[in-house]
Structure 1
Amino acid sequence: MGSYLNPGNLSFRGSLRSKIYVDKSELICRTNEVLFTEQKYICVSRPRRFGKSMAANMLSAYYDRNENTEELFHNLAISKDKTYKENLNRYDVIKLNMQEFLSMSDTIEEMLGMIRNYLISDFQETFPDVRFRDKQNLIQVMKDVFSYTKCPFIILIDEWDCLFREYKQNKEAQKKYLDFLRAWLKDKDYVALAYMTGILPIKKYGSHSALNMFTEYSMTNPREMAEYFGFTEAEVKKLCQKYNQNFEETQAWYDGYELVAVNGQNKVYYSIYSPKSVVDAMLSGVFDNYWNQTETYEALKAYIRLNFDGLKDAIIQMLAGERIQINTGTFSNDMTSFQGKDDVLTLLIHLGYLSYHWPDKTVTIPNKEVSQEYINAISQIKEKHYVDALKEYHGNLLLVGITYEKSEKKHHCVIEKLCKD
């Protein structure tokens, strides 16, 4: 067992021991379906704290052949699937958190060198009998190991997009990173599954993607992955019953993400809740804004201040409860290449600040919790355009304010102050 090769199952064990664990193990059915196929490349993008890392830890614990983990899964939904035994603990797993490597390095070259060196070190330690043709070449090392073991790799990459969020303007670093991933993963026989998670979909250059072998499951196009990230309404109802909490209040605070799974002519609509917020509310017994523990309204403020025609009007209209038409097709899947308001609004969908309604291609502010973040951000901006609009929509804003007495008073004071200034 290495640090990154067959890393063990302690993280998933921790999830199972948590006071609240919601079974998402049927995700494994989906990944088992695509093993060794052209669809073996999966990229899932969701906002922070939507269960992406937990899912990666679960996949690692399931596939890792270093230890028998049947005890972890025998009571979960996956244990009833026909592919369960066939793939349990049958693969070598590589699991990387790219944010960890980015935080330990000063340049993209140092980051990629560190990934190569650390993985090669794990391979040499784990497979001392393998004759390596080139001990400095990660791809060749993995080919040599695969030739020796005949056991392909499950490659799990968490926070895959961190470089695009922290190196927003560095196009050369972004290109080197994408080229590394493409060379490492594309058309490689040693890959049984390559599974990446992040906040942003895969970066596009023009109309093309450097990682075009990946099937993407995003907030705007979740397809069959819709129910596996975030809590569904049925799951939240069960938690409310268990913890004696009011479901309608929970729904008003944390519901609002509408995701559509499309399978041929069939469409299944899911109301998805932010897991962290629901868990915090259930355990504390207090309905409050837990969003600012994952994001900050400072980030939101920067985006809604961008000088694009119609952007400010759209924000105000959505605070008043209206839906705004949007074209998500022009978004370049980064945080800087905006051509207009639709690109900014699309980014806010992926960050979790807006909910995308697929049937009519509109966006709304999802719930009371997130609406607070907009009010917090606007209270710091104090631009005339926003203040004038807030005066016009003052009554409607109070309608989307929080029924929870303390929060309603807080909102009322903020809006009244803005309207008087």
Structure 2
Amino acid sequence: MNNKLYPIGIQNFEKIRKDGYFYVDKTALVYQLVKTGSYYFLSRPRRFGKSLLISTLEAYFQGKKELFEGLAMEQLEKDWITYPILHIDLNTQKYDTPESLENKLNGVLDDWESLYGTRAAEKSLSMRFEGVIERAYRKTGQRVVILVDEYDKPMLQAIGNEALQKSFRETLQAFYGALKSKDACIKFGMLTGVTKFGKISVFSALNNLIDVSMDERYAALCGITEEEIHRDFEDELYALADKQHMTYDEVCNELRECYDGYHFVEDSVGIYNPFSLLNTFFKMKFGNYWFETGTPTYLVELLQMHHYDLHRMAHVETDADVLNSIDASSTNPIPVIYQSGYLTIKGYERRFGIYRLGFPNREVEEGFMRFLLPFYAKTTKVEAPFEIQKFVREVESGDYDSFFRRLQGFCADTPYEMVRDLELHYQNVLFIVFKLMGFYVKVEYHTSEGRIDLVLQTDSYIYVMEFKLDGTAEEAMQQINDKHYARPFEADSRKLFKIGVNFSIKTRNIEKWIVEETGKEHCSTSTI
């Protein structure tokens, strides 16, 4: 029986070590970090272990040698000096007014000032921070360690609100500026967050930070590698295989497909999502654990605000400047989606410095599409999975009329304000629906000049579809035949359906579909 304690949701290093929870040893990388630089920034998706990393650094700089017994750090560190630590966690507050951030910082400063004293002349938040740093250094005789967890939480919560973003940016710029002005009093500084806001943002005051987010040496600082899985969880792999009636190799492949695939720098080792992995071993079954903990709605708001074509997410190309920094005024949602962990590096063209992005794994791809569906189609979060199940069953049984009537229901009541971008809206609805169906049946779609042609394959049927907007279903069918879309399947033993579909701007829905069923013709129209 497996008696291992899994630290699911536990972000405190001391608690993990004292209470006997399992810890994947990252302390050799922590040692390398503290011995080779002074100021760092690391961005990683939520629940990837950023808070645990900050807590590990805190225990190290507190000189708590006993917590590192049996870990790599025990052999590496000889001195174990205790430093004064200023730890800020911005994750524990709702930031919806300028005062909400000021109140949070004021509370943190009050705690520090009770330890290190105050000066009446220090009126602003930034002056008080500078004063605390200097007094902590002078009082203890050791330079100060500054640890900031989720530094970007206020900025992220204010995406879409330019006035609030500006207020937060100005407050944080001045506040974090103390890391530069009091450099002589500081031993080490580390900021973590999901995103990196650049250009005219808080980082303009922190150009002394080393950003290790895309540094190959620290790619595995958060998250779990395949090597670590086989080193630390071999018993769990066999137990999971037994529980799920799978072979050892099948379990390894399933874990890889579901939770691996994060690459935070080109040509680096793949990283597994630690939260999903630990939950899988704890519950001894596969699930969308990371996704079920909540996806920020600001991602969808960004996609919709910028009228983003979701097809582009399947083959995004960009450069390091875009990946490394978010410009709050930019119309490109991709940097936020990448840094939030919904896209990752899939390839790199060294000659031009171009990164190719894609979904890291099945959990993220399917979870993200399921999350998007209610924002684009007429369905709810609860209904969406069942609707996709019905779509799949209809095409698996050859019931294309029910399939298209259901699709009509998804497109019904398209908001009037979306009419100006109706073609993109339909493209996005189709992309999400067919992407979700693609986890159960084989789906291929190609876009050209805003049009979509689609091939859908089940065990018994092949569907070749062409969609038009304000054309005719007959024109769509003509294109299938003229361009010989069905030719690759003519020798296939499965039943073949060619389907021409037309969307109407007037009705804002599917107006008609025509089906040619292996030589016979069948025509249906919408009930609108």
Which residue of 2 is the match for residue 257 of structure 1?
262
Distance 1:379 1:364, change over 3 A: same
Which residue of 2 is the match for residue 13 of structure 1?
14
Equivalence map 1:368-379=2 (5 Å):
368-379=362-373
**One-letter identity of the residue aligned with 2:200:** Y
Deviation at 1:113, TM superposition (A): 2.7
Equivalence map 1:5-404=2 (5 Å):
11-16=12-17, 17=19, 19-34=21-36, 39-65=37-63, 69-81=64-76, 84-86=77-79, 88-100=80-92, 106-124=99-117, 137-168=128-159, 169=161, 170=164, 171-205=166-200, 209-218=204-213, 221-243=214-236, 244=238, 245=240, 246-260=251-265, 269-296=268-295, 298-308=297-307, 311-315=309-313, 318=314, 323-330=315-322, 333-334=325-326, 336-339=328-331, 343-357=332-346, 359-360=348-349, 361-380=355-374, 381-382=376-377, 383-389=425-431, 396=438, 398=440
Mapped partners of 1:374, 1:400: distance in 2: 19
> Residues 13 and 59 of structure 2 are in contact (CA less than 8 Å); yes or no, is this contact kept in structure 1?
yes
Paired residue secondary structure (1:366): coil
- Residue deviations 1:70-104 (CA, integer Å, cap 9, x gap): 221120012222xx122x24311221212336669
Mapped partners of 2:167, 2:364: distance in 1: 35
Deviation at 1:46, TM superposition (A): 0.4
> Residues 300 and 377 of structure 1 are in contact (CA less than 8 Å); yes or no, is this contact kept in structure 2?
no
- Residue deviations 1:211-242 (CA, integer Å, cap 9, x gap): 11111122xx2332111111111112345522
Distance 1:241 1:180, change over 3 A: same
Paired residue secondary structure (1:270): coil
- Residue deviations 1:12-52 (CA, integer Å, cap 9, x gap): 12223464321111232223223xxxx41101110001111
Distance 1:308 1:89, change over 3 A: same
Deviation at 1:151, TM superposition (A): 0.7
Mapped partners of 2:201, 2:122: distance in 1: 37
Q: Which has the larger radius of gyration?
A: 2
Identity over aligned pairs, percent: 22
More strand by share: 2
Deviation at 1:148, TM superposition (A): 3.9
- Residue deviations 1:296-323 (CA, integer Å, cap 9, x gap): 27454334334346x32213xx2xxxx4
Distance 1:348 1:387, change over 3 A: same
> Residues 143 and 186 of structure 2 are in contact (CA less than 8 Å); yes or no, is this contact kept in structure 1?
yes
Distance 1:178 1:293, change over 3 A: farther
Mapped partners of 2:30, 2:51: distance in 1: 14
Which residue of 1 is the match for residue 466 of structure 2?
none
- Residue deviations 1:150-177 (CA, integer Å, cap 9, x gap): 2111111111111111233321221121
**One-letter identity of the residue aligned with 1:139:** E
Mapped partners of 1:99, 1:207: distance in 2: 17
RMSD over aligned Cα, in angstroms?
3.4
TM-score (norm 1): 0.76
- Structure with larger RCO (C-alpha < 8 A, sep 6+): 1
> Residues 199 and 327 of structure 2 are in contact (CA less than 8 Å); yes or no, is this contact kept in structure 1?
no
Paired residue secondary structure (1:197): strand
Paired residue secondary structure (1:369): helix
Distance 1:388 1:140, change over 3 A: closer
> Residues 326 and 362 of structure 1 are in contact (CA less than 8 Å); yes or no, is this contact kept in structure 2?
yes
**Larger CA deviation: 234-243 vs 299-308:** 299-308
Mapped partners of 1:151, 1:327: distance in 2: 41
Deviation at 1:283, TM superposition (A): 0.8
TM-score (norm 2): 0.61
> Residues 42 and 216 of structure 1 are in contact (CA less than 8 Å); yes or no, is this contact kept in structure 2?
yes
Task: Structure 2 unaligned segments of length 5 or more: list them.
Answer: 1-10, 241-250, 350-354, 378-424, 444-457, 459-498, 502-509, 511-528
